[in-house]
């Protein structure tokens, strides 16, 4: 399992404008981001006792969470993802699933594990059956991504974070969502073995430090 470094930094609108102007010069926009941004919709899973949420809040050293996700309202490509954290490093595994499979998880109609199914899908099905994992909340936001090939660096700005409260109607084109409290603009910086100095210098902001912000936890503030 390969792990990457990750920083999350809360910023404001003035920070975003300054950083965006710097990174447009140094980095490339993500080729999949039409107009430099895209809409992300994720459905997060958790146990009946909210283990993933509690481990995040408590800062447990080794933790994982499952989600399914699509972009710009396109349910023709849905990704099942497992994000793992260990000693501050992160790993993400992903596999494509169908809208029918995604809806089955939403409805609680979980199929039997098929031997030819991708291992990640088998793992989620197994944990739904044995640990009670179930959909908890839909998380929506806008993302502006930048990439820098040396160091495999990715810098993203996430904002407009909204929560579906207790609705998990993931494939509904227009679910009822509300702002997730006073959610900040979030800058995420991810890299492999090294973060090039030119990028490290470009993202520096006075008084801003990496934090432990979680969009999932933020979107669970109402329950």
Low-confidence ranges of the chain (pLDDT < 70): none
pLDDT at 45: 97
Provide the residue count of the chain. 223
Each as own residue / partner, the long-range contacts of residues 60-69 (CB below 8 Å, 24 or more positions apart, any chain) are 61/85, 61/86, 61/87, 62/86, 65/216, 66/124, 66/127, 66/133, 67/42, 67/43, 67/216, 68/42, 68/43, 68/97, 68/102, 68/105, 68/170, 69/40, 69/41, 69/42, 69/43
pLDDT at 31: 81
How many angstroms separate the CA atoms of 16 and 19, rounded? 5
Burial class (CB in 10 A: 0-12, 13-18, 19+), 59: exposed
Which option is the CATH number for 4-218: 3.40.1160.10, 3.20.100.30, 3.40.50.150, 3.30.9.10? 3.20.100.30
Tens-place pLDDT, residues 185-214: 999 999 999 999 999 999 999 999 999 999
Neighbours of 2 (CB within 10 A): 8
What secondary structure does DSSP assign to 118-145, as a single string? -HHHHHHHHHHHHH--EEEEEEEEEEEE
pLDDT at 172: 87
16-44 burial: b if 16+ Cβ within 10 Å, else e = eeebeeebeebbebbeebeeebbebbbbb
DSSP-derived 3-state class of residue 94: strand
pLDDT at 111: 76
pLDDT at 173: 77
pLDDT at 110: 84
pTM of structure:
0.94
Domain-by-domain residue ranges, the chain? 4-218
* Element at 34 (helix H, strand E): none
DSSP-derived 3-state class of residue 26: helix
How many angstroms separate the CA atoms of 179 and 144, rounded? 19
DSSP-derived 3-state class of residue 157: strand
- Check if the beta carbon of residue 37 is closer than 8 Å to that of residue 144: yes
- Check if the beta carbon of residue 191 is closer than 8 Å to that of residue 5: yes
């Amino acid at each position: 399992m390969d792990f990457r470094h990750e920083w999350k930094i809360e910023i404001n609108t003035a920070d975003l404008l300054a950083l965006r102007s710097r990174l447009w010069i140094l980095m490339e926009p993500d080729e999949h981001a039409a107009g430099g941004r895209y809409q992300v919709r994720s459905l997060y899973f958790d146990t009946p006792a909210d283990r993933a949420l509690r481990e995040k809040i408590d800062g447990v050293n080794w933790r994982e969470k499952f989600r399914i996700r699509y972009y710009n309202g396109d349910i023709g490509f849905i990704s099942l993802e497992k994000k793992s954290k260990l000693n501050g490093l992160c790993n993400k595994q992903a596999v494509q699933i169908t809208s029918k499979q995604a809806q089955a998880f939403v409805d609680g109609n979980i199929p039997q594990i098929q031997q030819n199914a991708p291992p990640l899908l088998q793992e989620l099905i197994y944990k739904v059956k044995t640990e009670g994992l179930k959909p908890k909340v839909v998380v929506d936001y806008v993302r502006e991504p930048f990439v820098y090939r040396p160091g495999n660096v990715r810098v993203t700005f996430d904002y407009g974070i909204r929560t579906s409260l207790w609705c998990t109607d993931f494939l509904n084109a227009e679910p009822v969502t509300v702002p997730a409290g006073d959610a900040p603009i979030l800058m995420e910086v991810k890299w492999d073995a090294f973060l090039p100095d030119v990028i490290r210098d470009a993202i520096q902001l006075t008084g801003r430090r990496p934090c432990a912000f979680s969009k999932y936890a933020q979107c669970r503030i109402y329950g």
